[in-house]
């Protein structure tokens, strides 16, 4: 049975990770789920992408060079245009204090690495409006 095409445009996800392998895994999982995907290799590149387009959701690693995930969350939340975009943290970190810090800074949710494609997509569907 063929699935129906979505009547609305695909939601756009900005995926940020310094690992090329992880970026490609994210692109694959999100594209297969019907999302438009933009990739960035660190927080600094993500801010450049945000100046070019406004995604519906950001998925970011925490530990990255140049500008880490905490710095990215802070920059997004202090902006005007992108301040309300949901942000999911995707990381190997599991410490409660890091999760609390990310939440206080404005992260919407937390996903552990390695991620399960179906769980990632289910989390995104719960977070995105509509």
pTM listed for this prediction: 0.90
Domain extents for the chain? Answer: 12-103+119-127
Fold of the 12-103+119-127 domain: Rossmann fold (3.40.50)
Return the SS3 of 36.
Answer: strand
Q: How many residues does the chain have?
A: 130
User: Would you write out the chain's pLDDT as a tens digit for each of its 130 residues?
Assistant: 444 444 456 899 999 999 999 999 999 999 999 999 999 999 999 999 999 999 999 999 999 999 999 999 999 999 876 778 999 999 888 889 999 999 999 999 999 999 999 999 999 999 996 6
pLDDT at 10: 84
Query: Judging by DSSP bridges, how do beta strands 109-112 and 57-60 pair with one another?
Result: unpaired
Query: Judging by DSSP bridges, how do beta strands 36-40 and 57-60 pair with one another?
Result: unpaired
* Angstrom distance (rounded) from CA 64 to CA 3: 38
pLDDT at 8: 57
- Residue 6 is classified by DSSP as P
* Angstrom distance (rounded) from CA 35 to CA 28: 10
Radius of gyration of the chain (CA): 14
CB 18 within 8 A of CB 41: yes
pLDDT at 68: 96
pLDDT at 76: 94
CB within 8 A of 16, min separation 6: which ones?
39, 40, 41, 42, 43, 45, 46, 58, 59, 60, 61, 64, 69, 72
pLDDT at 94: 83
pLDDT at 3: 45
């Amino acid at each position: 049975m063929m699935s129906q095409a979505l009547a609305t445009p695909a939601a756009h996800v900005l995926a940020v990770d310094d690992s090329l392998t992880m970026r490609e895994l994210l692109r694959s999982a999100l594209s297969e789920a019907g999302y438009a995907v933009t990739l960035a290799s660190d927080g600094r590149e993500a801010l450049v992408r945000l100046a070019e387009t406004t995604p519906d959701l950001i998925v970011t690693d925490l530990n990255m060079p140049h500008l880490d995930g905490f710095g990215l969350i802070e920059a997004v939340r202090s902006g005007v245009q992108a301040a309300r975009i949901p942000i999911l943290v995707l990381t190997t970190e599991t410490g409660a204090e890091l999760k609390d810090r990310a939440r206080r800074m404005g992260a919407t949710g937390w996903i552990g690495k390695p991620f399960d494609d179906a769980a990632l997509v289910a989390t995104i569907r719960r977070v995105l409006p509509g």
